Chains A and B, each alone.
Chain A
Amino acid sequence: DTGVSQNPRHKITKRGQNVTFRCDPISEHNRLYWYRQTLGQGPEFLTYFQNEAQLEKSRLLSDRFSAERPKGSFSTLEIQRTEQGDSAMYLCASSIGQGATEAFFGQGTRLTVV
């Protein structure tokens, strides 16, 4: 296990379609975070999990977005009825989760909505 793994790396979808991304965190990392990054901007927080519990959701996470982390292992982020404004890089990160600890990012999934 060499790091956070995200799949797919790229996704092109038509507006209105649903998409799902997967994140596999570093083993034994209890915290898992989702961020969104648009071109020329820093990552923006979407949501995070402590084990299987979703502890916080950003206002950016509209009701079309849902994230899960069953059994506290991998996580999925689903976007329903995609819009062109959803086009962005979706980044996943994980950390051990105790105290102020380092968060390690995956390579991201680049979503293009056409």
Chain B
Amino acid sequence: GENVEQHPSTLSVQEGDSAVIKCTYSDSASNYFPWYKQELGKGPQLIIDIRSNVGEKKDQRIAVTLNKTAKHFSLHITETQPEDSAVYFCAASQGAQKLVFGQGTRLTINP
């Protein structure tokens, strides 16, 4: 079955700097890669996703890149703000099947 590895487990950056979180997946049949943000005591919130027919997608300060050959994808957050502090999860799936999540990255933005 699918296995998703996520790094780093914790990340601390200065406000205004960029943050990058990386994930690798094992199943070449996976074709959908969402990223979720989870704040304390809340459910995961979808922030951006990418499908396997696209190499990069951007939404304001957030971007995701996908390298199908290497089976890895990354989340990039630019101009970080204190409200970006949260736990971020990557995931992979085949179509609308179950999501397999990474272990999470706790991002802290230092003022």
Contact = CB atoms under 8 A, between A and B. Distances in A.
A40 B31 contact: no
A22 interface: no
14 contacts: A33-B98, A41-B104, A45-B98, A95-B96, A96-B96, A100-B51, A100-B93, A100-B95, A100-B96, A102-B49, A103-B34, A104-B46, A105-B45, A107-B42
B89 A43 contact: yes
Contacts of B95: 99-100
B27 to A, nearest CB: 14
Interface of B: 6, 31-32, 34, 36, 42-46, 49, 51, 89, 91, 93, 95-104
B103 A41 contact: yes
Q: How large is the interface on A (under 10, 10 to 19, 20 to 34, 35 or more residues)?
A: 20 to 34
A44 interface: yes
Contacts of A108: 42-43
Nearest to B89: A42
B93 to A, nearest CB: 7
Given A42-B104, A100-B32, A48 B44 contact: no
